[in-house]
Structure 1
């Protein structure tokens, strides 16, 4: 069950330690591994499911299934120096998605564990990842953030790191700028005490239609289309045993208008894409096409085209779906009417669903919809294709909900790799630079 082929054999006593606190399913650890060429030494998380997934994919790492506060850094490190300590404390009490729910001080204060490591084992480099609202960290009064003291705790956190001899800088980074097929935006704080400069990586990827002026050419960003498993068929939205709710239908039809009918360049799925049709038999002499786009079930945004990176994946899951629009050649109003006009219940326009493709008219024949599968979501986060997500090292299977939870809480590996690559150097390399 292990990802053994991607592991390494070496004498770990020759290396300074690399530690992943709040390790989760292993996103940050995978990125660190990509950057430094070896596994992390220590991974800590209180969740047995998260540790099981981490252990399955990082078997050479020493795992602690405990609260980060129950781990004594001095004992865990056993006298060895720490080169990098990564922290991804629970972010839900800082995120906009937290809404009006009461906040727990013990969760909101988890980031303070980084100070404990700084004071006891003094990692050469500390990296902390969270949502962009982390800079608003302040006191909580009666379960609510104190608006008058917003950001005070964050300022105190930075001040104390500096008192421990660390240079501290922070910045927001967008995953799609570094080759991840998602627009996930995160706050990153980097602190180091070895006298070397803190560097934030320059973007390597971007919108191919909006290259920076007088700047270096960026690689085209990875898109939703890059991670879709086109071999999975989409079931028709019509005549389902359990009808799709009206709000979801409205999102689908608004998306069709925006991303198929009213766009100059709709995205067409590859030939292997399938749809489970409402009707089993297509009209005679059909040269058919399948247009596709993404729909979102949360927020005010209807969805996005396949030519953009995936929007942010959350731990709750089941909020991103693929829509496939099955098009057939249109030869006039007398053809294709056997559909019983299901689309005309949405609009009174007789020609709704008529699309011109390379000078030829097409009519919508059917529409398919499916929720994305966990392996597609992990691919959107930039996990390697061989990352094991459905079963742990002992053969225990994970439910889809648990797989999605691990994914939604993860750090995109390629984003972590870019940040570590920009800053982490072994002591030998540092001496050469100096």
Structure 2
């Protein structure tokens, strides 16, 4: 590690630095790495100069990556501050326009709700009070505080070390006011790192104290959960943690281990199966209640005798009737159950009941469909009615009737190719009985009257008037106060991951050789885990005792567990008297979804580093447990970088205006 004299000499060779940072509780990096990566217009804008931490391996790791800073293996409460003062004085002499920030990531364990009902350490909760000695001697331009949200609830504790609810936030408010008395303004934000392009959803408190007349700036989000793109906003979708995971390492089967998994871990695995394989509790219950004696899955008809009613309450009625509200707003909120109260009835008819079965009449004008629960219209001598159902088979040969009920046997499968390649774009001819024409084939005859239209998968849906679709190549109609336009585009159906569609603009799902599902197992609380297509849940310091896992469910018949036997086309899942309750549940789920094995492994150090924004070559020194602790304690690097860049950009702008 460099000496004070070496660091002072190195300061003379710097240029273009707007912000110098003293990093208390620096750990192995995180905040410091984000500061070092920060740049404005491609130029480095910030520099870490002093780092203090009580953990030797944390400081050695920090020094291996940022050797130009002055490092101390000290307790921030007792360190002698004269070397820090020497560096601050040299900076103010060499760079009078630069600002100095004192950063403190105060220990969060004894504020965090992750502590649960356990007693708090009163000494840990008072570390913020030791910042005043730094404020006195450093006189920083900025003080930045990072902590969990619950830091704002800092209050008194009872004799058992438990927070007193009526005093919630009292000591926090007193501490903030005491810092402000030094001549600082104060603002804070609760920021989620996923909103700034991180691979983890990590919500943290960021508070900034600034000397009078200095700006307090927080970065604007660049991402949001679902992504947003409109006239005024363009936010990318949250990054998927799958981009930084190693799917080639499948882990080992959860069955047949030397040390059996505990029931709590199995319960989390089962919750993840229900959420990420079945598609949620509701979808899982529909399938769970639809098993026949033959092992096939089908929902019984309401007109047929009920299946056996068990003591497990496994029967429910599924309906396809609902109310649709035809006015502005998000589409997902416009369909409600007919069992629920109706929405507001307006002067204009905006409500419709939707049924899956109806009668279609091929004569007359106006509304030519009728409910199957209503009287049938007049039946003429010519066949004018069809019973319309939402599901049918389409056959490309034989006779005039190319549609068949799914309740009847399939047509004969012939050696002749009777399947069509469906292109999303085609020519629609309004001439005689012409079918759609391939855009790659010659166009039909062009008549003097317009008879051809290009059907495109992208168009504007206009939710007013007669809801006529509009081309994306033409000017948009009048924009009203209520949103009335929707862009309709193609999307990708992925049959390997819950049959969930995704935009063609988004990265593809993981492509596997066989049908697989992946999800993350969160050891905290009773969490169902995390979707690999979303940011990772918050990583914690105690990952040595509660490590996050990657779970993989597969239908690959290779190397199946011993309780599964394949007899011809039949897969047999054996359940033993010695199986624990959660093992039975998992085996039943596997049988229901045709899963042949579930594998699981802990997330590895390189994966955890990438999740927290550290570069691949970032050096961590210590045992596996220590390295995981360093990662879990760190500020997410991208978040720290964005915070620093926003402040430096504003400082440069103000300096340019003043000049």
TM-score scaled by length of structure 2: 0.55
Give the SS at the match of 1:195: coil
Rounded Cα–Cα distance in structure 1 between residues aligned with 2:172 and 2:27:
24
1:20 corresponds to: 23
Q: State the match for 2:223 in structure 1.
A: 205
For the residue of structure 2 that corresponds to 1:424, the secondary structure is helix
Q: 1: CA distance between counterparts of 2:244 and 2:536? A: 9
**For residue 148 of structure 1, what is the aligned residue in structure 2?**
166
Q: Distance in 1 between matches of 2:122 and 2:260?
A: 43
Q: 1:150 to 1:135 in 2, by over 3 A?
A: same
C-alpha contact (below 8 Å) 2:50/2:69 kept by paired residues: yes
Gaps of 5+ in 1: 2-8, 272-286, 355-362, 392-397
- 1:127 is aligned to 2:353: no
2:500 aligned with 1:265: yes
| 1:54 and 2:62 are equivalent in the alignment | yes
1:326 lines up with 2:327 in the alignment: no
What does residue 335 of structure 1 align with? Answer: 569
Structure 2 segments unaligned to the other structure (5+ residues): 2-9, 93-98, 280-497, 502-507, 558-565, 577-581
> Where does residue 11 of structure 1 map in the other structure?
12
Instruction: Determine helix, strand or coil for the equivalent of 1:219.
Output: strand
3-state SS of 2:48 partner? coil
The structure with the greater share of residues assigned to helix is 1
CA offset digits 1:343-390 (Å, max 9, x no partner): 994379799443xxxxxxxx322211111112211211111121112x
The question of whether the paired residues in 1 share the 8 Å contact of 2:228 and 2:236 is answered with: no
Partner of 1:357: none
TM-score, normalization: structure 1? 0.82
Distance 2:255 2:166 in 1: 53
Deviation at 1:231?
Answer: 2.8
Partner of 2:263: 246
Q: Do the aligned residues in 1 keep the contact of 2:268 with 2:526 (CA within 8 Å)?
A: no
What number of residue pairs does the alignment pair up?
Answer: 395
Q: 1:430 to 1:214 in 2, by over 3 A?
A: closer
Deviations 1:21-58 (A, max 9, x none): 10001101001111253541100011112111111111
- Larger Rg computed on CA atoms: 2
Q: Does structure 2 retain, via aligned residues, the 8 Å contact 1:44–1:68?
A: yes
Counterparts of 1:4-403 in structure 2 under 5 Å? 11=12, 17-35=20-38, 37=44, 39-73=47-81, 75-78=83-86, 79-80=89-90, 81=92, 83-142=100-159, 143-193=161-211, 195-207=213-225, 209-211=226-228, 215-262=232-279, 263-265=498-500, 269-271=510-512, 288-317=514-543, 318-328=546-556, 335-337=569-571, 340=574, 345-346=584-585, 352-354=591-593, 363-389=594-620, 391=621, 398-403=622-627
> Counterpart in 2 of 1:423?
647
TM-aligned CA distance change 1:288 to 1:429, over 3 Å: closer
> What's the offset of the Cα at 1:144?
3.4
Aligned to 1:394: none
Deviations, residues 137-161 of structure 1 (Å, cap 9, x unaligned) = 2234433334333222211222122
Residue-by-residue CA offset, 1:182-219 (whole Å, 9 max, x unaligned): 11110010011151221111111122x35277641212
- Structure 1 163/269 Cα, relative in aligned 2: closer, same or farther at 3 Å? same
Contact residue 268 and residue 291 of structure 1 kept, 8 A? no
Give a deviation string over 1:258-295, Cα, whole Å, max 9, x none.
21133432996444xxxxxxxxxxxxxxx722221112
1-structure distance, mates of 2:609, 2:603: 10
The Cα offsets for residues 236-257 of structure 1, whole Å up to 9 and x where unpaired, read as 1222222222332232233223
CA distance in 1 between counterparts of 2:69 and 2:589 reads 63
